[in-house]
Amino acid sequence: MTASAEQTQRAYGKTGIWLVGARGSVATTATAGLAAISAGLATATGCVTEEEQFGGVELPDFTDLVVGGHDISDVCMAKRAEALVGAGMLPPHLLESVRHQLVETDQRVRPGYNPAQQTESQAQVARRLATDITDFKHTYGLERVIVLDVASTEAPVEPVPEFTDEELLLAALEDPARAVLPPSSVSAYAAVLAGSPYVCFTPSTALNIPALRELAARHRVPTAGQDGKTGQTWLRSVLAPAFAARGLRVLSWAGTNLLGGGDGATLADPRAVAGKLQSKNRGLQELTGGAVTPLHIDNVQDLGETKVAWDHINVEGFLGSRLTLQTTWSAYDSMLAAPMVLDLARLMALAHASGEEGHVSALGFFFKDPWGSDEHSFAGQTRDLVEWATNASAALPGAAESLDRQ
């Protein structure tokens, strides 16, 4: 074993990935991809942490990642993967090669929180969910468990619970007749109780409640979010700074999303789509100085797992001239999200192992509405991420000794 491998083993051991929404398309794709990469059946294309700039960063090996999770669905991961094969997203031969791993992982999925079927108080639910996470950690001899929320977007809570006092919040959660928090926040609370680093890949409420953020800070867990930047918003975060760098003024930036599958059905709900639209537009408005940025999302079920995004950008140039750019984006969104989930698990393990606490702002690279950061330019986010990862890796236990030996 090389000195670098010895250091990595000492710093990390086995790392758990606990997926909230474990039987959904994103989680199933990430789990199938992890199994294929670990078995040498596929390369980690799309995983930023495998790129050259991370060559000197010590991260958990893919083979040392163990997946479990929560879900309210009774459709197992293998069945979900079969549906993804039917949609043309996963190759049939790949599913058969990793079916055993999907079945094995699905056995580690525990019932999530479904408010419609709950008789316990939310405090009891959170303790149950936290126990599932800690049991997973102990059963599989894990050094740490990274909790990632990849569940469907939930409708925004109105009004958002404005608890600023932890004691008042915790007392309210003990009332079995009252649902104080949305499901995403209950899951986030459970992660905090379990002492696990927490990542919110959705635009749901999660930790966006003052008392919960304070609780997470008191438990000294690293956190990251919010709303994975997979396609259209990523392209926007590249193009908008480019216009600004050329001294061109964006007048308007109109966009349309066409979604099928579960995401399309979820976002057909006007309440659920409201939070998504807010998350997608906030960064663009900042990057363009407040230009007009209308955006709407349509449910087109025959698209299945494919997401289509159109943008029409109107720009003012020299002497009032106009420049127009139109873009069309079409992709399997879960295929874009899955490698990001694996990257985030590895990087949050680095954050935890190096002693990070609170919002890890450098992980804003992965999000539409990053916690702890006002940086929305993708070039700036890339710089910040590589710099942070390099410094965090140097702070790992035994890093100095490893460098001396080399």
Is the pLDDT at 351 greater than 80? The verdict is yes
Which of the pair, 382 or 282, is modelled with greater confidence? 382
Distance CA 304, CA 320 (A): 43
Distance CA 27, CA 20 (A): 8
Which of the pair, 321 or 162, is modelled with greater confidence? 321
What would the mean pLDDT of 96-101 be, rounded to a whole number?
97
Average model confidence (pLDDT) for the chain? 90
Check residue 406 and give its pLDDT.
42
Is the pLDDT at 275 greater than 90? The verdict is no
Distance CA 46, CA 364 (A): 17
Is the pLDDT at 276 greater than 90? The verdict is no
Residue 354: which pLDDT band, with cuts at 50, 70 and 90? very high
Indicate the pairing of strand 306-316 with strand 322-332. antiparallel
CB atoms within 10 A of CB 130: 20
Residue 2: which pLDDT band, with cuts at 50, 70 and 90? very low
Strand order in the sheet with 222-225: 109-111, 65-71, 15-20, 144-149, 198-200, 222-225, 358-359
| 332-347 confidence digits (pLDDT tens) | 999 999 999 999 999 9
CB atoms within 10 A of CB 177: 5
CB neighbour list of residue 138: distance below 8 Å, 6 or more residues apart: none
Check residue 5 and give its pLDDT.
54
Considering only 40-44, 256-260, 382-386, which range has the smallest mean pLDDT?
A: 256-260
Is the pLDDT at 316 greater than 90? The verdict is yes
Check residue 403 and give its pLDDT.
42
| 100-148 confidence digits (pLDDT tens) | 999 999 999 999 999 988 889 999 999 999 999 999 999 999 999 999 9
Is the pLDDT at 234 greater than 90? The verdict is yes
Distance CA 146, CA 150 (A): 12
Please give the domain boundaries of the chain with CATH numbers for all domains.
Answer: 3-228+335-400 (3.40.50.720), 232-331 (3.30.360.10)
pLDDT cut 70: percent of the chain above it? 91
